[in-house]
Amino acid sequence: MKIEVLTLFPELVEQVAKFGMPRVAVERGAMQLSTRQLRDYSGNRWRRVDERTFGGGPGMVIQAEPLTQAIEAAKASIGPAKVVSLSPQGERFDQRWAERLSAEPGLILICGRYEGIDERVAPQIDLELSVGDFVLSGGELPAMVIVDSIARLLPGVLGHEASAASDSFSNGLLDHPHYSRPEVWRGEAVPEVLMSGDHAAIRRWRLKQGLERTLLRRPDLLNELKLDAEQLKLLREIVNEQLHGQDGRSE
Ligand code: 4FV
> Does the beta carbon of 132 sit less than 6 angstroms from any atom of ligand 1?
yes
> Does the beta carbon of 106 sit less than 6 angstroms from any atom of ligand 1?
no
Instruction: Give the Cα separation of 145 and 16 in Å (integer).
Output: 9
Average pLDDT value over all residues in the chain? 95
| For the chain, domain boundaries | 2-151, 168-243
> The domain at 168-243 falls in which architecture?
Orthogonal Bundle (1.10)
| Residues with active-site annotation | 88, 115, 152, 167
pLDDT at 161: 53
pTM over 0.85, yes/no: yes
> Does the beta carbon of 113 sit less than 6 angstroms from any atom of ligand 1?
yes
pLDDT digits (tens, 9 = 90+) for 170-207: 789 999 999 999 999 999 999 999 999 999 999 999 99
pLDDT digits (tens, 9 = 90+) for 157-166: 997 655 666 6
pLDDT digits (tens, 9 = 90+) for 122-152: 999 999 999 999 999 999 999 999 999 999 9
pLDDT at 87 exceeding the cut of 70: yes
CA 243 to ligand 1 center in whole angstroms:
42
CA 135 to ligand 1 center in whole angstroms:
5
pLDDT at 171: 85
Q: Which atom of ligand 1 is nearest to the CA of 133?
A: 11
> Would you say the CATH fold of 168-243 matches that of 2-151?
no
Q: Which atom of ligand 1 is nearest to the CA of 131?
A: 10
pLDDT at 251: 45
Quick one: CA torsion of 243, 245, 248, 251, rounded to 10 degrees? -130
CA 105 to ligand 1 center in whole angstroms:
25
Q: Which atom of ligand 1 is nearest to the CA of 113?
A: 15
Instruction: Give the Cα separation of 16 and 168 in Å (integer).
Output: 22
CA 127 to ligand 1 center in whole angstroms:
14
CB 132, CB 184: distance < 8 Å: no
pLDDT digits (tens, 9 = 90+) for 2-42: 999 999 999 999 999 999 999 999 999 999 999 999 999 99
DSSP string of 11-80, one letter each residue: HHHGGGGGSHHHHHHHHTTS-EEEEEEGGGG--STT---EEEPTTSSS-EEE-HHHHHHHHHHHHHHH-S
Query: What percent of the chain has pLDDT above 70?
Result: 94
Mutate to test the pocket of ligand 1, among 7, 12, 86, 89 (most ligand atoms within 8 A of CB): 86
Domain 2-151 has CATH 3.40.1280.10: yes
